[in-house]
Chains A and B, each alone.
Chain A
Amino acid sequence: GAGVSQSPSNKVTEKGKDVELRCDPISGHTALYWYRQRLGQGLEFLIYFQGNSAPDKSGLPSDRFSAERTGESVSTLTIQRTQQEDSAVYLCASSLNRGNTEAFFGQGTRLTVV
């Protein structure tokens, strides 16, 4: 596609439910990032995929968070047993390769846990 696409754009869920967020990167981009942006705060790194290498999961805040990516295609971020503090905008970005060329961001998924 023309840009990074994220779905859903908004998600309201009840505390304790699982949610799955999807990211479609730009075709041909080998690097994919997930970030979390809480209201009024900066971007918190969650996880980074680079091609077929083992992902860098060092930013995942707890074992309730996980992410997958098959090859250089779609990625899903899963949050199990959601908590109110998980409420945030989850941003996905992709870039051409591991050389840290420009990262292109999606519009994000706004997650609200009630």
Chain B
Amino acid sequence: AQSVTQPDIHITVSEGASLELRCNYSYGATPYLFWYVQSPGQGLQLLLKYFSGDTLVQGIKGFEAEFKRSQSSFNLRKPSVHWSDAAEYFCAVGAPGGATNKLIFGTGTLLAVQP
């Protein structure tokens, strides 16, 4: 079964600074990988996803993530953070094929943005 770890519970960055949120997964083959964002009082919104192909994927709101098989990682990055990016970010992993394809989420990283 797949699993996902987000090592950072809470991160604070200054507006305009770069951002990297870590995500590590466990799965025997290449998984499907996702990043979701949950803004205060809002539902979850998909930022980006990786299924196959180019390991650097671009998402909405200027986010990108890179799949690194050797490190079992799928870290989320943004070159310049905006105050509106303050939210909780969830990494999720899905298992292609097989009888069960449930999405498993990490525990989330809460991002605070300082002016």
Binding site for B on A (CB under 8 A): 31, 33, 35, 41-43, 45, 48, 50, 53, 56, 59, 91, 93, 98-100, 102-103, 105-108
Q: How far does the Cβ of A103 sit from chain B's closest Cβ, in whole Å?
A: 6
- B residues 17-54 near A (Cβ < 8 Å) are 32, 34, 36, 43-44, 46, 49, 51
Q: How far does the Cβ of A62 sit from chain B's closest Cβ, in whole Å?
A: 19
User: In the complex, what residues of B have CB within 8 A of residue A56's CB?
Assistant: 100, 102
Bound together, the chains give a CA A53 to CA B98 distance in angstroms of 12
**Count of A-B residue pairs with CB < 8 Å:** 57
Question: B32, A100: Cβ atoms under 8 Å?
Answer: yes
User: In the complex, what residues of B have CB within 8 A of residue A59's CB?
Assistant: 102
User: In the complex, what residues of A have CB within 8 A of residue B51's CB?
Assistant: 100
Question: B96, A103: Cβ atoms under 8 Å?
Answer: no
Question: B102, A42: Cβ atoms under 8 Å?
Answer: no
Q: How far does the Cβ of A113 sit from chain B's closest Cβ, in whole Å?
A: 21
Q: How far does the Cβ of B50 sit from chain A's closest Cβ, in whole Å?
A: 11
User: In the complex, what residues of A have CB within 8 A of residue B92's CB?
Assistant: 103
| Interface residue from A33, A102, A107 paired with B102 (Cβ < 8 Å) | A33
Question: B106, A100: Cβ atoms under 8 Å?
Answer: no
Question: B43, A107: Cβ atoms under 8 Å?
Answer: yes
| Interface residue from A41, A102, A106 paired with B43 (Cβ < 8 Å) | A106
User: In the complex, what residues of A have CB within 8 A of residue B95's CB?
Assistant: 100
